[in-house]
C-alpha cells in the first residue's frame, strides 16, 4: 500500500487489549505491585492512561491523582474530576503551590522574566508564557525560545529569550513536574502501587518531558504511540468529548500555551505523518503526494525532528556509572548510556 494518512491508523480495540495485558504483566508480575497510580490533568494522554489502568487493575486498584498549582488552568481540575467519575475512580487531590513556593519555583522564574520585562509583576495580574517560532514549514528557523507577557489590560509583548534567562525559566518551571512526581510516588508507595506514565511517543522521543519529573515512572503505558494514535484510543475508550476536543497544553505557564506553541511547532496531524515518514524511510515524492508539502518544507520538518531528538538525548540516558567486576575491581568503562527513560 502506498503511503498516506492511513499509515497512522491502529486497531484501537486490539491495541487497548495489548496495553492492558502489558500493564497487568508489568505491575503484577515484574514489579510485584498491587495496582497503579495515574496523575490526571484533564488532558487526553492522562485520560487514556486512566481508562487503560481501570481496565487493567479495576477502579478499586487505580489511584487517580490531581495535582494543581496556582498557574494551573481551573478547567483542568474540573475535567479531571469528571473523568475519574466516569471511570468509577474516586480521585485524590494534592495542591502543590505551597511546596513550589518553598522551593522558590515562582520567585526564581519571575526574577528571570523581569530581566527581560522589568515591568512584569504577577501579583498585579501579569501573565507569561514561553513559545517557539511556529512557522517551521515556511522558514528554516531554529528552536529559539520567545517570552511573551500578557498585561492586565490584555495587551501582549513578545521578546526573544537569551540562553541564560531561557534556562533559568525552564529550570524553575521543571520543579512543577518533579514535585508532582514526588507526590505520585508518595501515593504509590503507601499503597504498594506502581506509577503509570502518561507521556506519548512524541513527548518521549522528541524530549518534551522533564527528567526525573513526568518521565520518572515505573511503567510507560503509551510511549510507543504517536499523539494522533492516542486520540484514536481515546475515542474507543470513551474519553469525554470535552477532553478529546481540548487543545493540548503543557499547563505550566500562567498564560495559556498550547503544546504546539511551546514545543512541537506543528499540528499533531501533520507532525505525526511526517515523522512516521522519516522513521520509515518513505520516499520524498510519496510524502509530498500524501501531504502536499514541498521537498524543502519536508526537509525542514525532518531536520527539526532530528535536532530535537539529538539535543535531548541526555534526557533519555540512564545514570552513568563505573562498571566493576565480581570482586569490585574497576573495569574502566562507563555504563548506563542506553536511551531508556
Distance in angstroms (rounded) separating the CA atoms of residues 178 and 11: 34
Pick the closest to residue 117 from 72, 73, 162 (CA basis): 162
The three cell numbers locating residue 82: 469528571
Pick the closest to residue 217 from 190, 233, 238, 193 (CA basis): 193
Distance in angstroms (rounded) separating the CA atoms of residues 132 and 119: 22
Q: How does DSSP classify residue 162?
A: P
The CATH number assigned to the domain holding 219 equals: 3.40.50.620
Residue 43: domain span = 5-95+175-247
- Greater confidence (235 vs 336) lies with 235
User: What is the reported pTM?
Assistant: 0.89
> In the chain, what's the furthest Cα-to-Cα distance?
69
Contacts of 306 (CB under 8 A, 6+ apart): 278
Is a pLDDT exceeding 50 seen at residue 334?
no
Is a pLDDT exceeding 80 seen at residue 307?
yes
Instruction: Provide the CA 152 distance to its chain's centre, in angstroms.
Output: 29
Same-domain check for residues 37 and 72: yes
Residue 109: pLDDT band by 50, 70, 90 thresholds? very high
Give how far Cα 205 sits from Cα of 280, 304, 312, 317, Å.
Answer: 15, 13, 8, 12
Same-domain check for residues 154 and 185: no
pLDDT at position 60: 97
Tens digit of pLDDT for each residue in 4-52? 889 999 999 999 999 999 999 999 999 999 999 999 998 999 999 999 9
Same-domain check for residues 29 and 130: no
Is a pLDDT exceeding 70 seen at residue 332?
no
Same-domain check for residues 91 and 186: yes
Same-domain check for residues 45 and 120: no
Q: Report the mean per-residue pLDDT for the chain.
A: 88
Residue position matching grid coordinates 508480575: 29
Same-domain check for residues 84 and 191: yes
Same-domain check for residues 72 and 187: yes
Same-domain check for residues 82 and 224: yes
pLDDT at position 27: 98
Distance in angstroms (rounded) separating the CA atoms of residues 144 and 133: 7
Same-domain check for residues 31 and 162: no
Pick the closest to residue 185 from 173, 176, 194, 174 (CA basis): 194
Tens digit of pLDDT for each residue in 278-302? 999 999 999 999 988 889 888 888 8
Q: What is the domain count for the chain?
A: 2
Pick the closest to residue 95 from 121, 110, 111, 74 (CA basis): 74
* Contact present, 209 and 197 (Cβ < 8 Å): no
Same-domain check for residues 30 and 118: no
Tell me how many degrees the CA angle 330-336-340 measures, rounded to the nearest 5: 170
Contacts of 58 (CB under 8 A, 6+ apart): 35
What is the sign, positive or negative, of the torsion defined by CA atoms of 329, 334, 337, 341?
positive
Tens digit of pLDDT for each residue in 77-93? 999 999 999 999 999 99
Distance in angstroms (rounded) separating the CA atoms of residues 253 and 133: 17
Amino acid at each position: 500500500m502506498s503511503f498516506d494518512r492511513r499509515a497512522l491508523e491502529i486497531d484501537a480495540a486490539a491495541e487497548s487489549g495489548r496495553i492492558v495485558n502489558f500493564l497487568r504483566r508489568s505491575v503484577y508480575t515484574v514489579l510485584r505491585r498491587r495496582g497503579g497510580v495515574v496523575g490526571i490533568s484533564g488532558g487526553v494522554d492522562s485520560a487514556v492512561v486512566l481508562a487503560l489502568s481501570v481496565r487493567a487493575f479495576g477502579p478499586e486498584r487505580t489511584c487517580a491523582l490531581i495535582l494543581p498549582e496556582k498557574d494551573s488552568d481551573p478547567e483542568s481540575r474540573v475535567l479531571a474530576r469528571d473523568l475519574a467519575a466516569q471511570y468509577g475512580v474516586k480521585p485524590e487531590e494534592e495542591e502543590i503551590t505551597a511546596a513550589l513556593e518553598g522551593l522558590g519555583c515562582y520567585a526564581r522564574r519571575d526574577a528571570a522574566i523581569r530581566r527581560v520585562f522589568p515591568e512584569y509583576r504577577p501579583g498585579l495580574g501579569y501573565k507569561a508564557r514561553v513559545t517557539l517560532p511556529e512557522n517551521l514549514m515556511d522558514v528554516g528557523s531554529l528552536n529559539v525560545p520567545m517570552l511573551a507577557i500578557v498585561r492586565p489590560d490584555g495587551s501582549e509583548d513578545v521578546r526573544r529569550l537569551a540562553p541564560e534567562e531561557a534556562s533559568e525559566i525552564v529550570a524553575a518551571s521543571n520543579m512543577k513536574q518533579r514535585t508532582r512526581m514526588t507526590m505520585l510516588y508518595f501515593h504509590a508507595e503507601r499503597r504498594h502501587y506502581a506509577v503509570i506514565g502518561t507521556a506519548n511517543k512524541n513527548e518521549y522521543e522528541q524530549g518534551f518531558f522533564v527528567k526525573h519529573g513526568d518521565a520518572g515512572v515505573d511503567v510507560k503505558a503509551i510511549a510507543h504511540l504517536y499523539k494522533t494514535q492516542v486520540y484514536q484510543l481515546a475515542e474507543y475508550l470513551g474519553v469525554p468529548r470535552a477532553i478529546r476536543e481540548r487543545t493540548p497544553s503543557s499547563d505550566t505557564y500562567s498564560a495559556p500555551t498550547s503544546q504546539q506553541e511551546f514545543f512541537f511547532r506543528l499540528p499533531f496531524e501533520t507532525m505525526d505523518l511526517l515523522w512516521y515518514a522519516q522513521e520509515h524511510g518513505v520516499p520524498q515524492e510519496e510524502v509530498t503526494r500524501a501531504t502536499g508539502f514541498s521537498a524543502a518544507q519536508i526537509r525542514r520538518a525532518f531536520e527539526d525532528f532530528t535536532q530535537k531528538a539529538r539535543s535531548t538525548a541526555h534526557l533519555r540516558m540512564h545514570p552513568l556509572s563505573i562498571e566493576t567486576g565480581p570482586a569490585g575491581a574497576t573495569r574502566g568503562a562507563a555504563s548506563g548510556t542506553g536511551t531508556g527513560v
